[in-house]
Each structure stands twice: as C-alpha cells, then as structure tokens.
Amino acid sequence: MSNVTPILSRRGLLGLPDPPRAAERVRLAALATAAAAAPVLASTDKNDELVFMSTTKLAGLIRTKKVSAVEAVDAYIARQLIVNDRLNAVVMNCYERAPPKPRRSMRGRRAASGRGRCMACRSR
C-alpha cells in the first residue's frame, strides 16, 4: 500500500467533467456553426391576445413593428390590475417607471434623474 495521494485538478476537486479534447472541440464548433446558420423557428402559438401569447410570438410582433413595446407594457399593466386583487401577487406597483412613450436616448436621462436604478441605490 502506497501513501501516494492522487493529484486533483480544480475540475476533479469540484466534480466537473474533463474539458473537451481537440477533436471534441472541432465537433462542438461545427455544431455551433450549424445551429447559428439554422433559421429561427416561428412561434406556433395561435393566441392573439398580447398577455396570453408566447414571448416568442410577442417578440416577433415587436420586432416587425406590428405591436409596440409600449402597447405590450400597457396590456400587462391592465391585466395585472384586473387579476391582482384575487391573486395578491404584486406587492408594490411601479407604473410610473414604465415610460409613457418610447424614447431613443434614455441613458443620459436615466443617469441624471436616478430613474432605472433601484430604490436603495438612488441615494448613492
């Protein structure tokens, strides 16, 4: 019986699998390239109400400018007002933080006004 302790790598110590070898890296790179070249699948969701449709479909509608982001936010706020009395899921409403209309350059305005930061960070 020898008193030789095996040398553990960080991966071995944490129980992680060994990193992929060169051949495996080439195969994974080919898979990633094929996945990037594959067309994005459209949503199969048949629902036309904003608050009930899938996020994939909603994102597609916003991307093609059939629905504005403001309309989507307004629809979700309206739905929350309808069902929150029964669910009691929302502790604090922050409707004033949802912009009333889309703005192109919000970075400078948010930093100057303190908007976009959490309540604890505003005082800093």
Which amino acid appears at position 21 of this protein?
R
> What are the φ and ψ backbone dihedral angles of 37, each rounded to 5 degrees?
-80, -15
pLDDT recorded at residue 79: 92
In the chain, count H helices and then E strands. Answer: 6, 0
Q: Is a pLDDT exceeding 90 seen at residue 66?
A: yes
pLDDT recorded at residue 65: 92
**Local confidence band at 53 (pLDDT 50, 70, 90 cut-offs):** very high
Whole-number Å distance between alpha carbons of 87 and 59: 26
Whole-number Å distance between alpha carbons of 87 and 80: 9
Whole-number Å distance between alpha carbons of 66 and 72: 11
Place of tokens 């459209």: 42
- Determine contact, residues 70/102, Cβ cutoff 8 Å: yes
pTM: 0.48
Please give the average per-residue pLDDT across 24-43, as a whole number: 78
